[in-house]
Amino acid sequence: MMDNFTKQPRICTECKTQTQWKTISLAYSQDKIEVKISGITAMVCPNCGEEYIPGPQAITLSKAVDEILQIGLMEKIAA
């Protein structure tokens, strides 16, 4: 659950437009291994499309993707 600080949309650092909360998908790839995560709540600029994921969620996502990519790389090496 987001605290009061992260509930407030922020101003886009690229074009200075107020962001809006939206559900997005992100794709990551490394050495031909692809990971796609859907259902991420993020602040998105309606003008330029810049996306911002609140800090705690960004850290959790980053760790999860790193682990998935490492498993994929280990399986690729073992094959």
Two tokens at 52? 């911002």
Does the pLDDT value for residue 63 go beyond 90?
yes
- CATH ID of 4-78, from 3.20.20.70, 3.10.20.860, 3.40.50.300, 3.30.70.1560: 3.10.20.860
Other CB atoms within a 10 A radius of the CB of residue 15 amount to 12
pTM value is 0.72
Q: Which residues pair with 53 in a beta bridge?
A: none
Q: φ and ψ at 10, to 5 degrees?
A: -110, 170
Distances (CA, A) of 28 to 7, 13, 42, 59: 26, 23, 17, 15
Mean pLDDT along residues 45-60: 94
Mean pLDDT along residues 50-79: 85
Q: Which of these, 56, 55, 75, lies nearest to 67 by C-alpha position?
A: 75
Please report, for the chain, the start and end positions of each structural domain, with discontinuous segments joined by +: 4-78
